[in-house]
Amino acid sequence: MQAIEKISIRDLSLEQLTEQIVALGEPSFRAKQIYEWLWKKSAVQFSEMLNLSKSLREQLESHYAINAIVIDVQQKSMDGTIKCRFKLVDRHMVEGVLIPSENRMTACVSSQVGCNLGCTFCATGFIKMKRNLEPYEIYDQVVLLNKASLEHHKQPLTNIVFMGMGEPLLNYDNVLAGIAKITGEDGLHISAKRITVSTAGLAKMIRKLADDQVKFNLALSLHAADDIKRSKLMPINEANNLNDLVKALNYFHDKTGNRITFEYILFDGINESMEDAKNLVTLCSKVPARVNIIEYNTIREADFHKSKEDQREKFIAYLETHRVVAKVRRSRGKDIDAACGQLANK
């Protein structure tokens, strides 16, 4: 006898769920109770839904699946950073990171299993892209990293960054749907201003974010402020050059007023010269953005090295002299391969 394939209950809207619950002979308000258990209370088992009758819980168990992701491996760094490898229902893996600092707890979440953009310095770029994450899989990462934050640091999450595995804007609909459940009153109700989505730079999709009037902040993985260098580091630049990105980012800012950040990893001998700094200042004069200077974290797949400290200081001093707001983002979790660019399901 063939088993009945269960419906993924979190793929259903409240309206769709209501129709199906009524078809089971239950009053419509039960659907709202179930929806609240799924998205406000983050239930992962129907048995948790104690304000439902036992018979309804059994029917839900028979017909539906929650498909919650689970932590497969969890590692804790010497600096308090926690990396989780999450197992999805189809046994694929993605990673997320909890980054503690003095005044914030940040969850770094993934949007895809692997990545097909091939950025030469990023470990995820060497993993074949297998699929997009579903909205509930994005939501679950935030729930589980919040639990880790409460357990290990006695504080809830304050910020969420989409800087894990994958390119968020290549999973546009699911990322926005996941954020809707993270920010919505029917979900976790976390402020969108506490969320930053990072992109390698798809001009068309940045414009779509603007047209959709998103509330979250946007970061561009820049890493070079001239097209020749950027195309070598990030092949996506060949189809999304800096001129196109400048226009798209200005369009985004004009439409939303949301904050834009340039992320800039300093590589020894590649993008750290005073000419590079001058190019970055010129770019910042065209876009209302601030700059995060990021320390490079080595990966075995690529032969890059981080900028030496004295050169980094000269670079930052040049930016500051020219009134560019630049902040150094110290790497966390390097001892467990949890730092920027190191996520590779290890």
CATH of the domain at 59: 1.10.150.530
Q: In this predicted structure, what is the pLDDT of residue 303?
A: 81
> What is the model's pLDDT at position 335?
60
Q: Do 170 and 117 lie in a common domain?
A: yes
Pairwise CA distance, residues 268 & 131, whole Å:
34
Asked whether residue 154 falls in the same domain as residue 302, the answer is yes
Instruction: Based on the fold, state whether residues 47 and 155 are members of the same structural domain.
Output: no
Looking at the fold, whether 24 and 155 belong to one and the same domain comes out as no
Closest by CA position to 276, among listed 288, 289, 291, 287: 291
pLDDT tens for the chain, 346 residues: list them: 445 689 999 999 999 999 999 999 999 999 999 999 999 999 999 999 999 999 999 999 999 999 999 999 999 988 889 999 999 999 999 999 999 988 899 999 999 999 999 998 888 888 889 999 999 999 999 999 999 999 999 999 999 999 999 999 999 999 999 999 999 999 999 999 999 999 999 999 999 999 999 999 999 999 999 999 999 999 999 999 999 999 999 999 999 999 999 999 999 999 999 999 999 999 999 999 999 999 888 877 778 888 999 999 999 999 999 999 999 986 555 565 555 545 455 5
Tell me what pLDDT residue 337 has.
59
Kindly state the helix (H) or strand (E) to which residue 295 belongs, with its residue range. strand 289-295
Q: Please indicate, yes or no, if residue 33 is contained in any of the structural domains.
A: yes
Question: Which two structure tokens, joined as six digits, stand for 325?
Answer: 């707001």
Examine the domain organization and report whether 171 and 262 are in the same domain: yes
Same domain? 300 vs 243:
yes
Residue 346 lies in a domain: no
DSSP alpha helix (H) spans, 133-290:
135-153, 172-183, 203-211, 227-233, 242-256, 274-284
| 20 plus 113 within the same structural domain | no
Q: What pLDDT is stored for residue 102 in this prediction?
A: 85
- Domain-terminating residue out of 27, 47, 65: 65
Residues 61, 74 within the same domain: no
Q: In this predicted structure, what is the pLDDT of residue 329?
A: 82
The residues annotated as belonging to the active site are: 95, 340
pLDDT of residue 1: 41
Domain count, the chain: 2
pTM for the whole structure: 0.93
123-145 pLDDT, tens digit each = 888 888 999 999 999 999 999 99
42-76 pLDDT, tens digit each = 999 999 999 999 999 999 999 999 999 999 999 99
Kindly state whether residues 43 and 78 are assigned to the same domain.
no
Give the pLDDT score at 95: 95
**287 and 308 Cβ atoms separated by less than 8 Å:** no
> Could you tell me if 137 and 123 lie in one domain?
yes
Task: List beta partners, residue 265.
Answer: 294
* Range of the structural domain that residue 50 is part of: 7-65
240 pairs with which residues across the strands? none
In a domain, 1, yes or no: no
Residue 163 belongs to some domain of the structure: yes
Torsion sign over Cα 208, 223, 138, 217: negative
pLDDT at 77: 87
User: Do 61 and 91 sit in the same domain of this protein?
Assistant: no
